Copies of this chain bind each other. A is one copy, B any other.
């Protein structure tokens, strides 16, 4: 798979060690050959685990299992086990049995309660996942656990991704480090996205959960590649408590927000077939939720996304998307900008706008579409990419 032209220039970051967390990855042959496809993260006793999951009505078995396990006793060690290649989704009773078999086996091999074993699966929907592929490798995975293997773990969970996604931050002596996968079936409610974030912070589970849920609404739920939502989306965060206590919550939240937004942006930058990274910023709506509706309608419009792919400053399609969003809008109060260029104001093309300026701006690979509805104070910002031939190629061929 050719590297996305929007991949971060610096490559995968050198993720810092998080005290209390070790990683391993292995080629288990779940579906892919010749590459790692299972990762294990071991979390020390006392680790608080928080999570956010897809809101799909057809949630996969691993998601249902993870949801049920959040908020339990944290006194013993815990583990994350993730495989790529098979989503173990829509596999009926067998899906649940596979989760049971994998978590029981991890529990035994690592000597931790089964209620502390969290699994995720990503890949093909509707095909049975043979648990033996994973359980056969657990001893080997255990033997390979190391604080320095986050890089390999991040690669093992990739599917159509063209690059692994990592980010980290430090604040008040606390370290936060995370990685993610995802490039298609990406839309609010988290899409086919798996995200794992680790910190040595000392923080109670309910408090961590509250912060994580809140920040998800401002990050992963504000990105869309193709408006499709996965059955398997999972964000898990582990706080080992080996580092300082969280005292300045605002500072911790800001640092975590930075890591989550960075990872979310990287998912968009690896959007299937993407050649442009697009920020859609809506202001002046009657409410923040209306602003979000408008921003998502623009970010999901195939006509807007193909125009961007064609480097066409087609602001008429932005108007169309505002109109169809369902949000309150007044055509004659609408203003639109591309970057710093005012394109339209009060319902019509701005006298200062030239098609040439718009066309030149659209040649960039990082674009900003601004819409002011002029009727209130609601704001929202979302991120997306363009819709290109490559998206069709990837999805008319790849069986996901």
Interface, chain A (partner B; CB < 8 A)? 54, 56-59, 87, 89-94, 124-127, 184-185, 187, 189, 226-231, 300-303, 306-307, 309-310, 312, 314-317, 319-332, 334, 344, 346-349, 387-389, 391-393, 395-397, 399-400
Residues of B within 8 A of A184 (CB): 303
- With both beta carbons as reference points, the residue of chain B lying nearest to A311 in the complex is identified as B396
Copies per complex of this chain = 2
CB distance from A59 to the nearest CB of B (A): 7
Residues of B within 8 A of A331 (CB): 57-59, 90
Contact partner of A399 (CB less than 8 A), chosen from B231, B314, B334, B399, is B314
Known contacts A302-B395, A315-B126, A348-B94: A57-B329 contact under CB 8 Å: yes
What would 19 A/B residue contacts be, using CB atoms closer than 8 Å?
Answer: A56-B324, A57-B331, A58-B331, A58-B334, A59-B323, A59-B331, A89-B319, A90-B331, A90-B347, A93-B332, A94-B348, A125-B319, A126-B315, A230-B320, A306-B392, A306-B396, A312-B397, A312-B399, A317-B400
CB distance from A295 to the nearest CB of B (A): 15
Contact A316 B89 (CB under 8 A): yes
Known contacts A91-B348, A329-B57: A229-B389 contact under CB 8 Å: no
The CA-CA distance from A58 to B344 in the complex, in Å, is: 14
Contact B306 A395 (CB under 8 A): yes
Residues of B within 8 A of A344 (CB): 90, 126
